[in-house]
Structure 1
Amino acid sequence: MKKKVQIIIKNNNFKKEHKGQVVSVFRGYAFNYLIPNGIASLATKNQIKHYQMFSDIAKKEEEASSIATRKINHRVEQISKITIYKKIGDNKLIFGSVREKDIINWIYKYSNIKFEKKQIQINNIDNVNVNLVKIQIKQNIVVTIKLCIIPYNT
């Protein structure tokens, strides 16, 4: 009788192993703790093939996501500046303020890219000047664009 058995990890919180990884453990540990608690299952040829298929699909999806992110990043970096026209009053103050919604609408109008409000980071803009806008494409990819407020009077 073998002392160790091969198991497949079902979730990522088992030691430092990843989901779908094949590990050798002692029989008692496998049958008394890991398998009854749903942390692992016995490694059969079909189970290994099954988890391998899912890991391949996950890699392809991640690759496609990174390609799409790079395309969006490239298109956003091509925007040199965002120009918004606002009506002004006294002391170069604009009526209202420039909000994330204005920037999202401008980007969608001129580059057909949809962003969410939480991806746009701006300071409170209530006067006519040049400001910087940070657009967070992914968690670690941030693009900075110049925002020009141009006054007009009717």
Structure 2
Amino acid sequence: MAKRVQVVLRQDVKKLGQADDLVEVAPGYARNYLIPQNLANFATPGILKQVEQRKEKERQRQLAILKEAQDRKTALETIGRFTIRKQVGEGEAIFGTVTAQDVVDVVKETTGQEIDRRGVVLPDDISRIGFYQTEVRLHPEVTANIEIQVASL
């Protein structure tokens, strides 16, 4: 009997691997647990080909998402400056604060682009009217730098 057998995981298995990984396990573990629980299939040429096709489709999908994020970055940085209107008191101090949701709203209003508010990084010192640099994370690898102008109503 073989010392190890190769199986392709159908689902993530803790301490073994992710879905579609090719792993070597003991024959008893494969035969008595992984295969009956529908967690893995024995590695055959056909299954390996299917796995490669799925991985290629996923890679293409990730590239498309990255390209779209880069296009959105170019669009945001081309516009460059967005204006947020707030009520102003003495000494040009604003009432309330400028939030990430304010930035999301002004970007959507100006460009029609949806951005995630959790990706907006605001400077801590927005308390007066003026210009502030803001970072918008559109993708783990793509960050756009835009300028926010806080102005009076």
TM > 0.5: yes
Matched, 1:78 2:78: yes
Q: CA deviation at 1:113?
A: 1.0
**In 2, Cα distance between the equivalents of 1:79 and 1:16?**
48
Q: How high is the sequence identity, in percent, across the aligned residues?
A: 22
- C-alpha distance after superposition, 1:87-124 (max 9, x if no partner): 42212122333222322222112222111322222236
- 1:33 Cα deviation after fit: 4.6
Cα distance in 1 for residues equivalent to 2:76 and 2:132: 17
Query: Which residue identity lines up with residue 65 of structure 2 in the other structure?
Result: S
Alignment of 1:14-25 (within 5 A): 19-25=19-25
Distance 1:25 1:16, change over 3 A: closer
Report the count of equivalent residues: 152
1:103-122 → structure 2 map (5 Å cutoff) = 103-122=103-122
Report the Cα offset of residue 145 of structure 1: 2.0
> Is 134-143 or 60-69 further displaced after alignment?
134-143
> Take 1:26 and 1:87, find their aligned partners in 2: how far apart are those partners?
69
Structure-1-length-normalised TM-score: 0.74
Unpaired runs of at least 5, structure 2: none
Q: What's the CA shift string for 1:57-100, capped at 9, x where partnerless? A: 21221121111111112212223222233342212122333222
Structure 1 runs (4+) greater than 6 angstroms displaced: none
Q: Within 5 Å, which residues of 2 pair with 1:35-74?
A: 35-36=35-36, 38-74=38-74
CA RMSD for the aligned pairs?
Answer: 2.9
- The structure with the larger Rg is 1
**TM-score calculated relative to the size of structure 2:** 0.75
How far has the Cα of 1:23 moved from its partner?
Answer: 4.5
Opposite residue 62 of structure 2, the aligned amino acid is E
Larger mean Cα displacement after TM superposition, 125-134 or 30-39: 30-39
For 1:107, what is the secondary structure of its paired residue? helix
Pair 1:96-2:96 in alignment? yes
Correspondence for 2:8: 8
User: What is the DSSP-based 3-state SS (H/G/I as helix, E as strand, rest coil) of the residue aligned with 2:19?
Assistant: coil
For 1:127, the equivalent position in structure 2 comes to: 128
Q: Match for 1:102: what amino acid?
A: D
The answer (yes or no) to whether the contact 1:9–1:17 under 8 Å persists in 2 is yes
Change in 2 beyond 3 A, CA 1:69/1:22: same
Contact 2:34 2:40 in 1 (8 A): yes
Residue 147 of structure 1 aligns with which residue? 148
Q: Which amino acid aligns with 1:149?
A: V
Secondary structure of the corresponding residue to residue 30 of structure 1: helix
